[in-house]
Amino acid sequence: MDPVHLKEEHRLLQDQLRRFVAEEIVPHGERWEEEEMVPRALLRRMGELGYFGLRVPEAYGGSGMDALATVIFAEELARSTFGGVTITATVHTDMASPHLFNAGTEEQIRRWAPGLLSGETIGCIAVTEAEAGSDVQNIRTSARRDGNGWVLDGGKMFITNAVHGDVYFVAARTDPDQKASRGSSMFIVPKAAKGVEVVRKLDKMGWRSSDTAQLAFDSVKLPADALLGEENRGFYAIMKNFQTERLSAAGIYIGEMDTAIRLTLDYVKTRRAFGGTLWDQQAVRQRLAMLAAQAEAARQLVYHTAWLDSQGVDCVKEVSMAKAWCGELVNQTVYACQQFHGGSGYMRGTPIERMARDVRIHTIGGGATEVMLEEVAKRMEP
């Protein structure tokens, strides 16, 4: 069912990405899983094709597209079945880089945009801490003034792209007398800055080809222009970009659901059992039919929400619904699809086994389901 909101430019993007995934990701993804990294050559290729600037204004070298492009980009990458590649790219494009284009000065954008758009510079967003995940107001990393510049101290946890990335967009407390919502700021921190340390690379259950790490900042001296946006307004910058982050996440989920169902259809229509194929079993057919219906409903919700965002409509409730519902549904869908693969679906090296590990994070990362439901509940009318 083709979403009615798509324009020709969106359909062209879909087609281009589908070919890119089939030719440049799928044949190599298994090796990248084993190497536990996404090669920079692939990221530069994505930059060369314009995928890292889909929503960046044309004045800065981007395509100036809308939120539907965010969803399409995430959805098509997710069809690869390699979640580590998908999250490496989408953290860069939809979770980290937007902070520069949303709040950066002309000078900051001119300095950092070329590398971020080309894939020469890979970014990550450093907000989460050991005791501050969904509870953003509990961050403890601090930045204090030092002459014309700043000194950054503290640490971050579960930061994707931290090992192989180049620049961190860091949230830090800049007014200790205020709660974080009124006393936090965002900073551009080069990985090469003295005092920045990748403490350890974290060993994850899924997303094996993406890198995630713990960071430490030990008296990192930053220039005045490292401050991104208004001082003490960092919390609002984070909240603003959550809509883009969560739409991107929902796009990943619908791509994974569709692919899991397709893989399972291919399997059950050829796997013979009980005198026929598994597809001949009514229970299997009907369960897959229901999964397909639920996945299509989810896709329409996500695309419509992206369209609302592109129209400038306040859609925090709808974005939160999409993140919560699709994050739960992709887990249910992949679980059921793995069940129909039987023992083969439990073997390492099969797409459905890899997806089963990768999707588990979706109800946790980027805003836990429970947090998303609270955002919805706050906006429900009596």
Q: CB neighbours (10 Å) of residue 22?
A: 12
Residue 291's nearest CA partner among 267, 272, 264 is: 264
Any catalytic annotation for residue 370? no
Phi, psi angle pair for 315, to nearest 5°? -125, 35
Give the pair of three-digit tokens for residue 270: 């050829």
Rounded CA-CA distance 247/367 in Å is 12
Residue 301's nearest CA partner among 314, 317, 288 is: 317
Rounded CA-CA distance 196/192 in Å is 7
- What b/e sequence results for 53-76 when a residue is b if at least 16 CB atoms lie within 10 Å of its CB, and e otherwise? bbbbeeebbbbebbbbbbbbbbbb
3-state helix, strand, coil in the chain (%, to 5): 55, 15, 30
| Residue 263 near residue 336 (C-beta atoms within 8 A) | no
Max Cα separation, the chain? 80
Where are the alpha helices (H) located in the chain, listed in sequence order? 8-20, 29-35, 40-48, 67-78, 83-90, 97-103, 106-118, 180-183, 234-268, 282-310, 316-340, 351-358, 369-378
Catalytic residue among 33, 76, 245, 318: 245
Residue 298's nearest CA partner among 367, 249, 352, 357 is: 249
Output the CA torsion sign for 155, 159, 165, 171: negative
Rounded CA-CA distance 212/198 in Å is 10
Strand partners, 214: 200
Active site residues: 245
